[in-house]
Amino acid sequence: MTRVLSAIVVPPHLSVSGGARAGAALSAALSAHCTVTVASMMGGSAPPGCRWLPVRTGLPPGLPWSRLSQRHRTPFYRSDIPRAIRPGAYDLVHLHNPMPGLEMGRIARACRAAGIPYVISTHGFNEVARGTEIYGFGALRRAAWRHLVQAPVAEAVRGADAIMALSPADFEIVRAMGFRGETIDVVPNGVDLPPPASPEADRAVWERFGLDAPGEGAPITCLFLANHTPNKGLPVLLAGFLGLARPFTLIVGGETRPEIDYAGAVAAVKPGQRIVVTGRLSDAEVGALMRRSDLFVFPTLADTLPLVVFEAMAHGRPVLASEVGGIPHQIDAACGRLVPAGDPEALRNAVADLAGDRAALRRMGERARARVAADFSWAGAAATAFGVYRRVLAAGAERARDGAGASRLAVDGRAAGRIPG
């Protein structure tokens, strides 16, 4: 069988990464087609059906890393994944996620040095391309972002044998990075439909966060779930909801960050309004909170094809999200609503409008679940990805045959005295 190394490039200090989860899920689905070894900078264990390559990560020695914040150390993390890429070790390498960009570049160079073809999935490419816009960098940090992130990712893209775009929105990005292949394949994220819920387990989670069981006359409950990094739009979310005049419950899921004033937002609500900040959540807690919510709200500033949007849809929840990246390819008017990125007023107006018709929200949720079940399965993504693998390997075999034929022709020519040695 084809031997594939799935290299998941993620800062090791992150507790959750959509790109890492998507890479692991696609690798598990691909194990039905080929032998997949997973190497993740986040650590963990092998996805179902896959082999596991333990990875050591760290920062280059000899520099005063303790003087830098975790955020500023992120671009410099490296791993020993490149050392595992040796001639003959694998037939193909699949790179997932572009951060740390320098490490993606190192892995790509190791593939080229070993003569092993590699393909790239575009997790996080929208954030990489738009980082200088969305993070509020000054001139020095913009230069650092271009040098430490965008340049090495573009180098990897230029040398790739194939690009698996998560949506057509990534085509322009990878072309601007220098990819010159004739075809850019679309291999989107997938999602598994959740198993049947346990009402008792759900109630226990709701009680843990002080949430009542849902009732017909209760205020609308909205859920936000993401890493609280600047690109996810959490300040836009809070500003939008704090301007609402109607009652609501807003669940803010995901690991908290010290630079965000959660307490101030919780204290600023009006009568009948509530903000619940959960911190990091387990998968079981995420499922229970999805089922407790009426609407999933995701005002991201930059995203490629967020897995959490598919997960909300799989739970039968309509989605209100920013019109950025591949999100317009995930949801349509039948199952959600799009608003301009970075616009709290537009977000506020959309929430108020949707909250006024709960029956319509339920219908949108049903359509959202049907949409992901029909169009966004991991099995379908894996079948498409394996077709790309086969095409890349066939092209490499053809080049090898052509090279061998040219070499034989040259030898025969010299032997016959027709071609100078």
Report the pLDDT value the prediction gives residue 408, as an integer from 0 to 100.
56
Which residues are bridge partners to 254 per DSSP?
279
The model's pTM: 0.89
CA gap 336, 338 in Å, rounded: 7
Report the percent of the chain where pLDDT is more than 90: 82
CA gap 92, 325 in Å, rounded: 28
Scanning the structure block, which residue is given the tokens 């001639």?
87
Residue 419 has pLDDT above 70, yes or no: no
Candidate from 30-39, 137-146, 279-288 with smallest mean pLDDT: 137-146
Closest by CA to 233, choosing from 209, 202, 254, 218, is 254
CA gap 270, 242 in Å, rounded: 8
Report the pLDDT value the prediction gives residue 119, as an integer from 0 to 100.
98
Residue 416 has pLDDT above 90, yes or no: no
In whole numbers, what is the pLDDT of the chain averaged over residues?
93
Task: Between 14 and 387, name the one with better pLDDT.
Answer: 387
Which residues are bridge partners to 4 per DSSP?
36, 92
Tens-digit pLDDT profile for residues 175-223? 999 999 999 999 999 999 999 999 999 999 999 999 998 877 789 999 9
Report the pLDDT value the prediction gives residue 412, as an integer from 0 to 100.
57
Query: How sure is the predictor about 111, in pLDDT bands with cuts at 50, 70 and 90?
Result: very high
CA gap 101, 124 in Å, rounded: 11
Task: Between 134 and 155, name the one with better pLDDT.
Answer: 155
Helix axes 234-242, 344-355, angle to 10 degrees: 60
Report the pLDDT value the prediction gives residue 17, as an integer from 0 to 100.
87
Rounded average pLDDT over 64-87? 91
Task: Between 404 and 321, name the one with better pLDDT.
Answer: 321
Task: Between 352 and 419, name the one with better pLDDT.
Answer: 352
Q: What is the DSSP letter of 247?
A: -
Largest Cα–Cα distance of the chain, in whole Å? 96
Task: Between 137 and 116, name the one with better pLDDT.
Answer: 116
Residue 21 has pLDDT above 50, yes or no: yes
Q: Are strands 336-339 and 92-96 parallel, antiparallel or unpaired?
A: unpaired
Q: Which strand ranges, in their side-by-side order, compose the sheet holding 248-253? A: 273-279, 248-253, 220-225, 295-298, 319-322, 336-339
Rounded average pLDDT over 56-60? 94
Residue 276 has pLDDT above 60, yes or no: yes
CA gap 418, 155 in Å, rounded: 41
CA gap 127, 306 in Å, rounded: 11
- Domains along the chain? 3-190+377-405 (3.40.50.2000), 199-375 (3.40.50.2000)
Candidate from 103-107, 136-140, 195-199, 389-393 with smallest mean pLDDT: 136-140
Query: How sure is the predictor about 420, in pLDDT bands with cuts at 50, 70 and 90?
Result: very low
Query: How sure is the predictor about 150, in pLDDT bands with cuts at 50, 70 and 90?
Result: very high
Rounded average pLDDT over 274-293? 96
Report the pLDDT value the prediction gives residue 137, as an integer from 0 to 100.
84
Report the pLDDT value the prediction gives residue 378, as an integer from 0 to 100.
96
